[in-house]
Amino acid sequence: MTRRVGAWEGAALAACSAVGIGLFLWPFLGGVLPGAASTTAIGLGTAAALVCVELFARRLDARSLALLAALAALDAAARAVVITGIGGFSPIFLLILCGGYVFGAGYGFILGAVSLLVSSLVTGSLGPWVPYQLFAVGWVGAFAGLAGRSRRGRPGRRDVVVLAVTGLVSGYGFGAAMDVWNWTFYQSAPGLGFHLGMPVALAARHFGRFYLVTSLGYDTFRAVGNAVLVTAVGLPVLVALSRLQGRLRAEVVPEPAMEELLALDL
């Protein structure tokens, strides 16, 4: 039964990621970009579908949902204090990385998506970019969950190193993904701008130049900041979340055999 549930979760996360990848690859396919209403419906609908799968798999119950809300609220508060961050770095990624690492890829994706939505509401930064951020931040949590599959026992320094590297890589990945959306507004820049109907190879070259010129240095602050923050305070956060995971884990007690029930009745 456990393997079947894990397969359902993996398939659901893969399907959600496929939807997000299709959304980000849209500019490279030469078609008209989808409107804000369409992308918002896609983003929210995909996240809601993954939540339903997690509920069906019984990985989300009242306690884990309460923890999810608490972590998202803490992330929203951190982002409200440091909205733009320092050169691209933002503390919002710490709890997403740690939560995904401890609770798994599916939970990490949902934590990232919910944290982004809550923080956008709190800071008033709602806009057409939010559905793209939803997927990008969700992938950060999912990537941390995949990295945490090798975790054994109480978190230690090895886990901090693994998670710091994960934060470094995902910092660049998040920036590159979001630059796809930003790139579509640079339509007049020769050699790196976006134009409808561009061949795939030409679009890839233009985007590569755009990223190197406008975003690589900015994303380096985010990536290095993630690694430094995880190295500095990641261990106590991982230990605390690991303890909470043990308390939230439901223990299934087998029913007594019929003979034992009869014996008790006697």
Domain spans, the chain:
11-250
Q: Is the pLDDT of residue 31 over 70?
A: no
* pLDDT recorded at residue 46: 83
* pLDDT recorded at residue 6: 56
* pLDDT recorded at residue 50: 80
Q: Is 31 helix (H, G, I), strand (E, B) or coil?
A: coil
Using one digit for the tens of pLDDT, what is the confidence trace for 47-67?
888 887 777 666 677 788 888
Q: Is 186 helix (H, G, I), strand (E, B) or coil?
A: coil
61 secondary structure, DSSP code: -
Distance, in Å, from the CA atom of 225 to the CA atom of 231, rounded to the nearest integer, reads 10
Q: Quote the tokens at residue 5.
A: 């549930």
* pLDDT recorded at residue 157: 92
Distance, in Å, from the CA atom of 220 to the CA atom of 108, rounded to the nearest integer, reads 23
Average pLDDT, the chain: 82
pLDDT (average), residues 258-265: 44
Range in 6-10, 68-72, 135-139 the model is least confident about: 6-10
Furthest CA-CA distance within the chain? 89
Range in 38-47, 79-88, 203-212, 214-223 the model is least confident about: 79-88
Give the pLDDT band of residue 266 (cuts 50, 70, 90): very low
Distance, in Å, from the CA atom of 108 to the CA atom of 164, rounded to the nearest integer, reads 16
- Check the CA dihedral 124-128-129-132 and report its sign: positive
SS3 content of the chain, % helix, strand, coil (to 5): 75, 0, 25
* pLDDT recorded at residue 265: 45
pLDDT (average), residues 115-139: 86
Give the predicted TM-score (pTM) of the model.
0.85
pLDDT (average), residues 219-235: 93
Nearest one of 171, 151, 178, 174 to 162, comparing CA atoms: 151
- Bridge partners of 89, per DSSP, are 86
User: To 5 degrees, how large is the angle CA 55–CA 57–CA 63?
Assistant: 50
Using one digit for the tens of pLDDT, what is the confidence trace for 163-209?
999 999 999 999 999 999 888 888 777 788 888 888 899 989 999 99
Q: Is the pLDDT of residue 160 over 70?
A: yes
